[in-house]
Structure 1
């Protein structure tokens, strides 16, 4: 069996077992809160970050990894390198990773095969794609088969989220065509989701967090078939009890192959803000 490596930008949260699995490698984005620079890697301190974001005057920003940073991640023994990035519509991470693959091939004579997947998602959507790649590699599928199968898996995926406030997304210009909500006083929570192109859309809204989370689960079930064959992932920004509520609500209705829960890393913490919950399947 070939040696393989799965490179994921740091918007994709890795559960502890995958961090310890030698096949996975994270390439960090950089975060900027009012000029204070934070690398979204294992040094990321979520509590400190959320406090800084709360106090900041300008919107926090993220910048994608450089092609050089990606190139370093491609080096090593692995013959097959699979790269999973944030949606190309939301970040320059995908373009940077593709450019890095071209530069790598120009500079190296080896027969390493590299494919960059545009997740058309973010956060644990990227994690699920990484898990799918690993499952196929371990089953002995060829590089070409894996690329085809994973691209088809990406087009079948959906990501949903409910967050306390859309301010960061709005300020960062990530909400194209969406009205910024003036409904905070009424405790109206929007339910958001990914589009097939990898942008963000509003699916609905509900009054109060619990109702919004229940509506998100309802929306997920409307578009998810063959639950027992699918892995579902939930990431939360410092609100494990909300993630658990979502998991319990889902398990009352259907049985999934596996449900993974993780705490958001830096980029997702920045956009989800404290209390946000993301669901991907």
Structure 2
């Protein structure tokens, strides 16, 4: 039986080849609209150029989700499918995937399970990596067993956002405008997490890279992280991502850290020098 692991492009795991047998991985691209021009968030996108255009654009930019047809085409590529989307509160991607699932399952021959990540970036990568690992270790697992496992990963994992620029978040209503204006003016880097309403919930403001890295480690410890897979996405800030990786590995020698560049959608939200950190505990430890 063939499997497919599918994510929308809020997942920054690009060009990935699963280790599990008879398993494929694919990405359904979102789109970013800047100044009346639509940019497809796929492997051909020049993310640095997109970031420059978004920064120069005076009006609010926007994003749009993969279409029902795009999701359906990907769902037809395997008999058993697990698809992971950006938070349903951030985008219509999950709802489009629901409609595509119902359409394809009505055709027969497919089992499709959808996971609303309730996040973006690193949490989706964590889910996809651990799903592949589970399928590799448990090749005889039933579809229901796989779904139960991956729903547990979603429930016991989260993301942190380490941000230094907030213009797109405030324009889109994902962060209170006054908080964003003050943080920008005072040159404060904010550590936040995803709220159930699709906004950024502030965990801690701070100044200085080393203090921010300490805050991240403390937040992970407070959530119950005790080792395992961590996914760090960055917007043109690999140096800080690597410094954070070292701090995590020093605190938890059994941590397995993956560093990735943000694609278009995550760059749009995280903005210049932003980091998105995905990790879990219990079922989501990856151990």
Taking structure 2 as the reference length, what is the TM-score of the superposition? 0.89
Structural mapping, 1:131-150, within 5 Å: 131-138=129-136, 139-140=138-139, 141-150=141-150
Residue 86 (structure 1) aligned with residue 86 (structure 2) = yes
Q: Verify the 8 A CA contact 1:186 1:207 in the aligned structure 2.
A: no
Deviation, structure 1 residue 214: 2.5
What are the equivalent positions in structure 2 for 1:80-119 lying under 5 Å apart? 80-106=80-106, 108-110=107-109, 112-119=110-117
Query: In the alignment, what sits opposite 1:183?
Result: 183
Which residue in the other structure is 1:40 paired with? 41
Maintained 8 Å contact 2:30/2:63: yes
Task: Report the CA distance shift for 1:15/1:105 in structure 2 as closer, same or farther (over 3 A).
Answer: closer
Let me know the Cα RMSD of the aligned residues. 2.1
Please give the secondary structure, in 1, of the residue aligned with 2:83. Answer: strand
Figure out how many residues of one structure are paired with residues of the other and give that number.
Answer: 275
Q: Aligned partners of 1:163 and 1:75: how far apart in 2? A: 38
Paired residue secondary structure (1:83)? strand
Report the alpha carbon displacement of residue 195 of structure 1 after superposing the two structures with TM.
3.6
Q: CA deviation at 1:135?
A: 1.7
Following superposition of structure 1 onto structure 2, how do residues 238-277 of structure 1 map, counting pairs within 5 Å?
A: 238-277=236-275
Deviation at 1:186, TM superposition (A): 2.3
Match of 1:166 in 2: 166
Deviation at 1:124, TM superposition (A): 1.9
* Structure 1, 128-137 or 32-41: larger mean CA deviation: 128-137
Contact 1:33 1:53 in 2 (8 A): yes
Residues 133 and 183 of structure 1: CA distance in aligned 2, closer, same or farther (over 3 Å): closer
Return the offset for 1:166.
1.4
* Segment of structure 1 superposing worse, 201-210 or 41-50: 201-210
Q: Which moved more, 1:238-247 or 1:21-30?
A: 21-30
Aligned to 2:284: none
Q: Larger deviation: 40-49 or 250-259? A: 250-259
- Residue in structure 1 matched with residue 29 of structure 2 by the alignment: 28
Q: CA deviation at 1:197?
A: 6.8
Q: 1:117 to 1:51 in 2, by over 3 A?
A: same
- Distance in 2, matches of 1:99 and 1:235, equals 30
Deviates more, 1:135-144 or 1:26-35: 135-144
| SS in structure 1 of the partner of residue 153 of structure 2 | helix
1:181-215 C-alpha deviation (Å, 9 max, x unpaired): 41323222111012467653110110234322331
Q: Is 1:4 the counterpart of 2:16 in the alignment?
A: no
The alignment partner of 1:161 has SS state of strand
Q: TM-score, normalised by structure 1?
A: 0.91
